Amino acid sequence: MIPVLIGVTLVISSVVYLSPGNPAQIALGQNANPEAIEELEAEMGLNDPPHVRYLDWLAGAAQGDLGTSVRSQRPVSEMIMERLPATLELAIASMALTLIIALPLGVISAVKQYTWVDSLSMVFAIFWISMPSFWLALILILLFSVNWSIFPISGRATPVFTATWLMSLALPAIATGTRRAGLLTRMTRSSMLEILNEDYIRTARGKGIGDRAVIYTHAMKNAMIPIITLIGLQIPLIFSGAVIIETVFAWPGMGRLLVNAVLSRDYPVVQGTVLVYAVIVIAANLAVDVAYSYFDPRIKYD
């Protein structure tokens, strides 16, 4: 985990170092005095060799200091902390929505293979998989906010865990969650179908313990391994997809912070945001690994 993080920070720093544009120039504006720019460059450490800049930044990051924004002159960590809850709640809500839709639907279409339920879920899945989420987001806004005025058009409501908060979260979560649900439904179905043909499922049926126990205890626990793998792969996609969705819905999350920082060459903010994303994704993958060993006792970690 630590080597991965170091690798990630190294890549971020290199990209920032290699990218065009002079942050000092941008901070001071087009008509700034060349001397002032030089002074600021020295102050920001832009003249130091890359490894010194990287180590300085790393030392700061380890202590929770991600530097100061070139644009707003505010500490980067403070800016991220403001945005982090919004991003996390959107990611968790869309993930939850994905699971709530995909798992039952996948299981039902596997158990009732080739029936109308199966065909319907197939249509559903292909529909969501083929729909670009930004376009879906616009359609949702058009229908539910503009035409029918059920949900707010954009923005996030506080305090959290209130009805208005939930209403404002609904559309962004649906836009990101349903798309993932399409894919996961298909995965759940094929994984379940494979397991349902196993000999031990027949053994379980032969015990006369009833369909529910056979499907939920014997089949599901086995089928979860590939499903969890896919969930693990989708976690980074949910965050990267959120960058677009946050923009469409004016959602005050880290995604928009990142986009704005990139556009204004605010490198400390870019570095800090990407680092936080990396930490979240790595933590999620760790959780996936832990989940593996719960569902399959044959998987053990030293």
Partner 1 sequence: MTDPLLEIDDLHVHFHTEEGTVEALDGVSLTVERDEVVGVIGESGCGKSVTAFSTMGLLQSPPAEVVSGSIRYDGRELLDLSDDELDGIRGDDITMIYQDPMSSLNPVLTIGHQLTEPLLAHRDISKAAARQKAIEMLEACGLADAERLMDEYPDALSGGMRQRVVIAMALITEPKLLIADEPTTALDVTIQAQIMDLLRDLREEFEMSVLIISHDLAVISEIADRMAVMYAGNVVETCSMRELFEAPLHPYTRKLAESIPSLETSVQRLPTIEGTVPELIDPPTGCRFASRCPDYIGSECDEIDPQLAEPEGIRDHEVACHYYTDESDAEPPWQIQGVEDQ
Interface ranges with partner 1 (CB under 8 A): 197-200, 202-211, 213, 217-218, 221-222, 295-298
For partner 1, give the closer residue by CB, 135 or 216: 216
Q: How far is the CB of 202 from partner 1 (least distance, A)?
A: 5
Looking at the Cβ atoms of 71 and 205, the one nearer to partner 1 is 205
- Phi-psi map region of 149: left, alpha, beta (phi>0 left; psi -120 to 50 alpha): left
Residue 159: phi and psi, rounded to 5, are -70, 165
**Rounded to 5, what percent of the chain is helix, strand, coil?**
75, 0, 25
217, two tokens = 């205890």
Q: Please say whether the beta carbons of 93 and 175 come within 8 A.
A: no
Which CB, 158 or 203, lies closer to partner 1?
Answer: 203
Query: How far apart, in Å, are the Cα atoms of 113 and each of 178, 283, 294?
Result: 22, 36, 28
Q: Contact at 8 Å (CB) between 81 and 87?
A: no
The pair of structure tokens assigned to 224 is 């979860």
Q: Between 52 and 299, name the residue whose CB sits nearer to partner 1.
A: 299
Nearest distance in Å: CB 235, partner 1: 24
**CA 218 to each of CA 59, 113, 180, 215, 222: distance values in angstroms, whole numbers, following the listed order:** 50, 18, 26, 6, 7
The distance of closest approach from Cβ of residue 284 to partner 1 in the complex, given in angstroms and rounded to an integer, is: 23
Nearest approach in angstroms of CB 110 to partner 1 is 14
Cβ closest to partner 1, residue 64 vs residue 297: 297
Contact 183, 106 (CB under 8 A): no
Instruction: Sort residue 227 into left (φ over 0), alpha (ψ -120 to 50) or beta.
Output: alpha
Q: Considering the complex, what minimum distance in angstroms separates the CB of residue 86 from partner 1?
A: 38
* Residue type present at position 154: S
Closer residue to partner 1, CB minimum distance, 22 or 113: 113
Tell the smallest beta-carbon distance from residue 224 to partner 1 (Å): 9
Q: How far is the CB of 204 from partner 1 (least distance, A)?
A: 7
Minimum CB distance to partner 1 smaller for 83 or for 218: 218
